[in-house]
Amino acid sequence: MATDNKNNAANEAAKKALEAVNAKKAAEKKKVEHTYTQVGQQSTNKEELLAITKQNARPYRIAAFILWALAIACEVFAVLIFFHKVEFKFTTENPGWTIAWIALLVLDLILVIIASRLWVKANHLDPAPATNKTKFWIHNNLGVIISVFAFVPFIILILTNKDADKKSKTLATIVAAVALLIAGVSSADYNPISQEEMLEAADIDTVFWTASGTVFHAYDDCQHLNHTVELLTGTSTTAIENGKTRLCKTCEARALKEAEEIAEKLPGEDKAPETQGEATTAAAGN
């Protein structure tokens, strides 16, 4: 009898544990109750849309250029301090002198990184056309190019100078080279978007986005929207006008999959890529 009781208790415990797991799963599955705010479209054609995206990006571009200019100014100042062309009481000798030029290089680095991130943000709001590959690359990697200008002249001037002591020259070169590496890596746009890609996504009737997000969604039950109650909705052109310039990757994959399933169900339908493309747009619009 005692064994039976034990077994019952064990079964009971297992059942409870299972119930708890299922309840947890159900809670996770449960979707958020969204609220929707309809947003109206401002542009009626491609030119108007591009004018709006250009306007959206402008403050970020201006800020990026100002910060890049300040970064170069820090570099110039670091050179002047290093060669004692400009002196303050605390920079006439060590350690004030070393601290001063290193601090200026660090400030140079911080400014370059912030400016480059703003530039990337501007490029995502207002992508460049990909028709000219070189121009497109320069546009998207301007931060990397400015990084070179923000540190390489300093390195060259230090290395070619005959008066500075070897120890300081080595330290300055290492500090500037490391800063250049960090600036270059953090300034690149690893996920650039082209104007063509943006315009291609601008024909979906109903999409959803969040105030803080950077993409728009074709499905309001997309997993990335599970943590946001307030959704904004409108055409994908409206989403682009509001700075959400590309379709969410998860929604894109889902739309493609659904389009493929539809294509498979249709008898005698050929599954050419262009058919899939059309079906994608249709599915994404639902």
Cβ within 8 Å of residue 19, ≥6 positions away: none
Q: Does 244 bind Zn ion (CB under 5 A)?
A: no
Question: Using CB under 5 A, which of 250, 275, 276, 281 touches Zn ion?
Answer: 250
> How is the beta sheet containing 207-209 ordered, strand by strand?
35-38, 230-234, 207-209
| Nearest CA among 229, 192, 197, 235 for reference residue 216 | 235
Q: Which residues pair with 37 in a beta bridge?
A: 232
Q: Does 246 bind Zn ion (CB under 5 A)?
A: no
Say which amino acid occupies 163. D
Question: Using CB under 5 A, which of 222, 262, 263, 282 touches Zn ion?
Answer: 222
Q: Does 256 bind Zn ion (CB under 5 A)?
A: no
Q: Does 168 bind Zn ion (CB under 5 A)?
A: no
The nearer residue to Zn ion, 214 or 250, going by C-beta atoms, is 250
Residue corresponding to tokens 């986005």: 209
Question: Using CB under 5 A, which of 251, 259, 279, 284 touches Zn ion?
Answer: 251
Strands (E), the chain: 35-38, 207-209, 215-216, 230-234, 246-247
**Which region among 33-41, 83-91, 95-103, 223-231 touches Zn ion (by CB under 5 A)?**
223-231
**Which region among 3-11, 55-63, 115-123, 242-250 touches Zn ion (by CB under 5 A)?**
242-250
The nearer residue to Zn ion, 172 or 201, going by C-beta atoms, is 201
The nearer residue to Zn ion, 217 or 244, going by C-beta atoms, is 217
Give how far the C-alpha of residue 179 lies from the chain's centroid of Cα atoms, to the nearest Å: 22
| Rounded least distance, CB 215 to Zn ion, Å | 7
| Rounded least distance, CB 39 to Zn ion, Å | 17
The nearer residue to Zn ion, 116 or 245, going by C-beta atoms, is 245
Q: Does 248 bind Zn ion (CB under 5 A)?
A: yes
The nearer residue to Zn ion, 73 or 256, going by C-beta atoms, is 256
C-alpha distances (whole Å) from 90 to each of 85, 96, 108, 197 are 14, 5, 20, 54
| Rounded least distance, CB 66 to Zn ion, Å | 35
Q: Does 217 bind Zn ion (CB under 5 A)?
A: yes
| Nearest CA among 76, 152, 151, 143 for reference residue 116 | 143
The nearer residue to Zn ion, 248 or 279, going by C-beta atoms, is 248
The nearer residue to Zn ion, 50 or 255, going by C-beta atoms, is 255
Gap between the Cα atoms of 270 and 275, Å rounded: 8
Q: Please say whether the beta carbons of 283 and 259 come within 8 A.
A: yes
Q: List residues near Zn ion by CB under 5 A.
A: 217, 222, 224, 248, 250-251
